Amino acid sequence: MNSSPNSCTPDLEPRTTPGAQVERLPTGGWRLSVPAGPGGTYRWAQLDDYLRRARSAFAWRPPVTLRVRARVSAAVLPGTWGFGFWNDPFSVSLGLGGMARRLPALPNAAWFFYASPPNYLALRDTHPAQGWLAATFAAPRIPSLALAPGTPLLPLLAWPPAARWLRRLARAFVQEDAAALTVDPTAWHTCALTWQADTVRFAVDDAEVWTTPVAPRGPLGLVLWLDNQYAAFPPEGRLRFGTLPNPPAWLELGEIAISRQPSVISHQPSAISQWNT
């Protein structure tokens, strides 16, 4: 995927928990880092352009192309990291996505997403839920106030029969798709996604790796992050979320560019494991 002459560097704000850092690199990029520590404490470093905005004021709608050059400190890290577009759907109900205070929403996202065990956010058993993924979620924009009355019922999801029932129900509203990437994330790679109204295309090092018709509904915010958090909604039920013990970890970001126009992707073969919607 080639850079567009109309691309720009987005206006990003850093967020961290105590001890974590978001630093500018001498090369002009960024380094997001979290210190080592035990489970039970949230450690998080993030760049985003949405935390102070209402969801209706998020900046990005299709067509848009995001291009990020990145590498991470280890191929296996406890927690999650990644970059892309999402609607920050779980701020109140699960505590995911940082410190924003907004009501829950159904998820819409298109991103490169890494999730360690015991993370498991796939609603369909045939989709990958762990490792380094290219992934999308698409759901109707149901008003948050319509979903808010269900928030007090979330503790019932610790009961597996209730959790399994809700997982089946969610499939009626939330589309998802994902592919597992096999490239080494500790080496520098240029990752790009083009989000259009009816498709999302993913590329690594200018070669297309995956295309899906499951395209999120905007507007969405841009997020690049690293944390030690997990959220698990596995097939056997029982929703769980929390934090994991972790070693020192970092995510380095070189180029971060966005274009309002689709980019050209070369159709070179690429080694991925793929699941269909």
Give the type of residue at 195. Answer: W
Return the pLDDT at 240.
84
Q: Sign of torsion, CA 200 185 125 98?
A: negative
Give dist(CA 93, CA 102) in Å, integer: 9
Domains by residue range for the chain, with CATH: 13-275 (2.60.120)
**Pair 268, 65: CB distance under 8 Å:** no
pLDDT single digits (tens) 3-14 = 455 678 788 999
Q: How far is CA 266 from the centre of its chain?
A: 24
Write out residues in the chain with pLDDT < 70, as ranges: 1-6, 91-102, 142-160, 162-163, 165, 261-277
- pTM reported for the whole predicted model: 0.85
Return the pLDDT at 92.
42
Return the pLDDT at 153.
56
